[in-house]
Amino acid sequence: MSNGIRQNPKRAIVYIDGFNLYYGALKGGPYKWLNLERYFRLLLPNDNIQKIRYFTARVAGSHAVAQNAYLAALATLPLVEIILGKFKAKQIQGLCPSCPLPAPQFFSTFEEKHTDVNIALWMLHDAQRDLCDRLVLVSGDSDLVPAVAMIKSEYPQKEIIVYVPARNAVRGAAVELRSIADKNKTLPVQMFHASQFPPVIPNGSGPPIKKPATW
């Protein structure tokens, strides 16, 4: 007799493009203090989540303190693994906004490196070693299309689900990535409220981790 519980839940691994999640669904909102383990247990209640791989790079400047606190909070979660890329300085050319006449000028900026490559490599790694039945990708980055296509070709028994983090239709289009996946959805924001860390998190290896006052 069935008790309503699936006897053989799918093994799932979640791959999160951290900056894509932030700029697509969290920036400007009140729910940046997001407990990823709680959120994905709510989102995937019938799956046996093996790991949540969170890909990001450490930022510099005014947001560094807040990001460090958030990474420390994520590090307390048993299922979450943080995989870091890096930022690389580069020069871009644009128009000087304060010049009397428009004039070309070079500006210093930073470019995130390695995140899409790291996600692709870990997805291939996990599929090859049969560590999951379902790969859940949280991103709208078309650079990941070749990796998804290769996994579908080499491991057709694996299911790939794409959740695009977006609060507007333009950013949420992600046509190439949505088209290549077995299933695609827009990442639900309704569960963010129920998936927040507490304001203060006990930390066995140091002082308590506190939610940033500003972000």
- Per-residue pLDDT 10s for the chain (215 aa) are 445 555 789 999 999 999 999 999 999 999 999 999 999 999 999 999 999 999 999 988 778 999 999 999 999 999 999 999 865 544 556 666 556 666 666 554 445 668 999 999 999 999 999 999 999 999 999 999 999 999 999 999 999 999 999 988 777 789 999 999 999 999 999 999 999 999 999 988 789 999 999 87
Entry pTM:
0.86
Decide which of 3.40.50.300, 3.30.1490.20, 3.40.250.10, 3.40.50.1010 is the CATH code for 11-210.
3.40.50.1010
Determine which helix (DSSP H) or strand (DSSP E) holds 91, and give its type and residue range.
strand 86-95
Q: Identify whether the C-beta of residue 189 lies closer than 8 Å to the C-beta of residue 43.
A: no
What backbone torsions phi and psi does residue 192 show, to the nearest 5 degrees? -60, -45
Q: What angle do CA 159, 165, 166 make, to 5 degrees?
A: 135
Residue bearing tokens 């950013």? 171
